[in-house]
Structure formats: structure tokens, C-alpha cells
Amino acid sequence: MMSLHLVNDTGGLLRARRYVRTLGEAFTIAERLESVGLRPNVVRSGPKYLVYITTEDLLKLAEGDGDIRRAVALYLAEKAKNGTPRQEEIAEKILCTPFFYLISPPRSRHCYALADIELTCRV
């Protein structure tokens, strides 16, 4: 089980992450993720280790699993509605990608996410 996290980087990112106590646990999780074609990263974070996958890999994983796709959309919708101004900006940017369109909104400048929210997207 991994949790979702918005990263306030230069462009803003979404990551799925998991903290573990030992390096062995981190490598075990990383090997499982690699076995399904993802590129996990393992870094030390204080006394623990962090295993995470980037937005690209998370969306690739969500393409094949509707439950993951919906969980990502709901997380982003929550951040778009109730996050900090920077979280709102990052979440809206990700939600306005073609991956989350239910209809083809670039002409209408609106995107409708799986989480039933409406955003005005800049095209």
C-alpha cells in the first residue's frame, strides 16, 4: 500500500510513496514494482527509507486499473478543492491532462475528471 503525495517542485509532481524501516524492505518493494514495469526510486529519509514512483509511472499503473485511476482522481480533486494554493495549482494542472478527460474538452476549455469536478483548463 502506497500513499499519494503532491510535491512542490518547479512544475509540481504527484508521487506514490511508502516509508519503510529497513533498506531490505525498501528493495523488496522496489523489486515488486519493477516486476510490473515501473521504475521505483529508493532514498533515505531521516531514519527510514522512502520508496516512490513518479507521476509518469503512477499514471501508467492507473491506465490498467480503474480503482487506482479513480483513487488518483479523487485525491487530486480533494487537493484542487481544499489544498493550499500551490497544491490546488498542481492538482488542477495534473487533472487537466488528457489522461483524466471523460470527454474531449480541449475545444471547450473544460475538463471533467473522474471525481465529478469541473475545472477550467488552459489550453
Residue 117: pLDDT band with limits 50, 70, 90: low
Q: What is the pLDDT of residue 49?
A: 97
CA 5 to the chain's CA centroid: 7
Determine, yes or no, domain membership for 107.
Answer: no
Looking at residue 42, which CATH number applies to its domain? 3.10.28.10
Query: Based on the structure, what is the number of domains in the chain?
Result: 1
Tell me the pLDDT tens digit for each residue of 54-108. 988 988 888 888 888 888 888 988 898 899 999 988 888 888 777 766 544 444 4
Determine, yes or no, domain membership for 37.
Answer: yes
Q: Report H helices in the chain.
A: 23-35, 55-63, 66-82, 85-95
Determine, yes or no, domain membership for 27.
Answer: yes
Determine, yes or no, domain membership for 10.
Answer: yes
Determine, yes or no, domain membership for 17.
Answer: yes
Rounded Cα gap, residues 121 and 123, in angstroms? 6
Rounded Cα gap, residues 1 and 60, in angstroms? 17
Determine, yes or no, domain membership for 79.
Answer: no
Domain limits for position 22: 1-64
Determine, yes or no, domain membership for 109.
Answer: no
Indicate the pTM of the whole model: 0.77
